[in-house]
């Protein structure tokens, strides 16, 4: 494809996943929200760290283990300072680690909504006929690739499927039913828009 525009999409989830835990106050399984605060407990030279969660209904607390019985000497001073000061970026990193949460409690409620920051890697020129989208994910997301593209490009998922079937939409790395799977870090999507009546509108939407 010639005359293509390269755009980087930096994707960040809006809502942190919520572990589903048996709340001993409510008497049933409830979603717990992140408090964005750490609990640091020092016992001699040993340190334990948890990220505190609260039941959405009764505010009962649950501690998500981050460090267990770690020797203070093995913790970088800047990391310990970040934990003790409830550093927002560090709390976000752990709160959005759905794999670690799932390993800890089993069931996790995920939210597909994301924010997309779009950065053009070249200039828009006249008569451009193709897009190359490069995905960069802050954290894994459950949002399907076809929903992401449909939302951001203003086209239907059935149209995206038709473009893929005609080999005018190519996903790299390619896999079976890639459009229906969650968006992944490092994915590149190439879309040939030659002859499409709304080509300019799609290109404009892709660049934000």
- CB contact at 8 A, 11 and 149: no
CA angle 185, 133, 119 (to 5 degrees): 95
Q: Which residue has the higher pLDDT, 201 or 174?
A: 201
For the ranges 14-23, 121-130, 154-163, which has the lowest average pLDDT? Answer: 121-130
pLDDT at residue 177, as a whole number: 87
Task: Give the whole-angstrom CA distance, residue 149 versus residue 182.
Answer: 11
- CB burial class (10 A; 0-12, 13-18, 19+) of residue 170? middle
Q: Is the per-residue pLDDT at 116 higher than 80?
A: yes
pLDDT at residue 1, as a whole number: 41
pLDDT at residue 160, as a whole number: 96
Q: What is the pLDDT of residues 19-72, one digit of tens each?
A: 999 999 999 999 999 999 999 998 888 999 999 999 999 999 999 999 999 998
In the three-class reduction of DSSP (H, G, I as helix; E, B as strand; rest coil), residue 52 is classed as strand
Mean pLDDT (the chain) is 91
pLDDT at residue 89, as a whole number: 94
Q: What is the pLDDT of residues 69-109, one digit of tens each?
A: 999 899 999 999 999 999 999 999 999 988 899 999 989 99
Q: Is the per-residue pLDDT at 167 higher than 90?
A: yes
């Amino acid at each position: 494809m010639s005359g293509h525009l390269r755009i980087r999409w930096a994707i960040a989830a809006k809502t942190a996943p919520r572990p589903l835990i048996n709340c001993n106050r409510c008497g049933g399984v409830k979603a717990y929200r992140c408090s964005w605060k750490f609990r640091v407990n020092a016992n001699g030279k040993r340190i334990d760290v948890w990220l505190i969660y609260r039941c959405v209904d009764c505010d009962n607390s649950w501690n998500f283990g981050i460090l267990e019985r770690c020797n203070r000497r093995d913790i970088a001073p800047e990391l310990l300072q970040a934990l003790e000061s409830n550093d927002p970026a560090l709390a976000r990193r752990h709160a959005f680690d759905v794999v670690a949460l799932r390993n800890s409690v089993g069931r996790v409620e995920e939210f597909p909504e994301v924010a997309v920051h779009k950065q053009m890697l070249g200039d828009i020129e006249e008569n451009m006929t193709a897009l190359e989208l490069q995905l960069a994910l802050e954290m894994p997301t459950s949002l399907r690739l076809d929903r992401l593209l449909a939302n951001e490009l203003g086209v239907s998922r059935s149209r995206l499927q038709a473009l893929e079937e005609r080999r005018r939409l190519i996903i790299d790395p390619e896999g079976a039913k890639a459009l229906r799977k969650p968006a992944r870090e490092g994915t590149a999507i190439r879309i040939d828009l030659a002859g499409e009546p709304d080509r300019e509108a799609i290109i404009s939407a892709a660049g934000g």
